Structure 1
Amino acid sequence: MYSISEIAEKVDISAHTLRYYEKEGIIKPVRNDSGVRQFDEKHLQWLQFVKKLRETQMPVSQIKEYTRLFLKGEHTANARLNLLEEHQQYIRDQIETLLATDDMLTKKISTYKELMRESLVK
């Protein structure tokens, strides 16, 4: 079992964020007899998944919906699949936009470098 500070370090998120996720129902840590939060390997894996979703701009509201569906059971698998497929498409759209922007910037940078070379020759 991990303490809140240990799990926060392992996942590289703050204890404050963990408390927020608990308040929002995204994570439900076990509490010992003293009321101290404890996390296990399943919590660790779940939090790593949630962190990736947040890093790819999935709103907390959608993560909460995914969590709610997951906790309802297997009969929600199709709804969870749809939610993840929609997010994956969002990510792919962002990748396409970033690649196009990178290409545009590469061309613009090349143009500036060429202009600078030409001005040095003159």
Structure 2
Amino acid sequence: MMTIAEVSRKYNLSPDTLRYYERIGLIPAVHRNKSGIRDYTEEACKWVEFIKCMRSAGMPIEALIEYVALFAQGDETIEARKDLLIEQRRLLAEKMEEIRATIERLDYKIEGYEKGLVIKEKELREMEL
């Protein structure tokens, strides 16, 4: 069991973010001790880790909320959960392709600047002679 402060440090998420994720259903309700303080179990920590990973990859909060809600409904939603993940993977792969194309274009532009600098340097050297 871990406190919200410990989970916050471990996953580099603020306590406010963790509370928000719980409040909107992004992570299942976290167990509370007798004093009402959140007590994160290993399972709750796995959810935090999963959500953080998916969010850092750009998966929308809405899709994650849907996934968590489907998960809570049990095994009859396995196919729906799989379909949701497949769709999110497709979107992420599409985004990766866009990023790859942008990197190629930037490389081309940078190369152009570098070639221009080489030409300018050569011109400067010739002027010195």
- TM above 0.5, yes or no, is yes
Asked if residue 9 in structure 1 is aligned to residue 9 in structure 2, the reply is yes
Shift of 1:57: 1.7
Cα deviation, 1:7-55, whole Å, max 9, x if unaligned, reads 1111111100111011112221111111000001111111111011111
How far apart, in 1, do the equivalents of 2:111 and 2:21 lie?
Answer: 46
1:12-27 paired onto structure 2 within 5 Å: 12-27=12-27
How many aligned residue pairs are there? 122
Which consecutive residues of structure 1, in runs of 5 or more, have no partner in the other structure?
none
- TM-score normalised by structure 2 residue count: 0.91
Counterpart residue number, 2:127: none
Q: Structure 1: which amino acid aligns with 2:117? A: M
How far apart, in 1, do the equivalents of 2:49 and 2:11 lie?
Answer: 6
Asked if residue 67 in structure 1 is aligned to residue 68 in structure 2, the reply is yes
Aligned-pair identity in percent equals 35
Counterpart residue number, 2:40: 39
Note the aligned Cα RMSD (angstroms): 0.9
Larger Rg: 2
Cα deviation, 1:64-113, whole Å, max 9, x if unaligned, reads 11000000001000110011011111111111111111111111101111
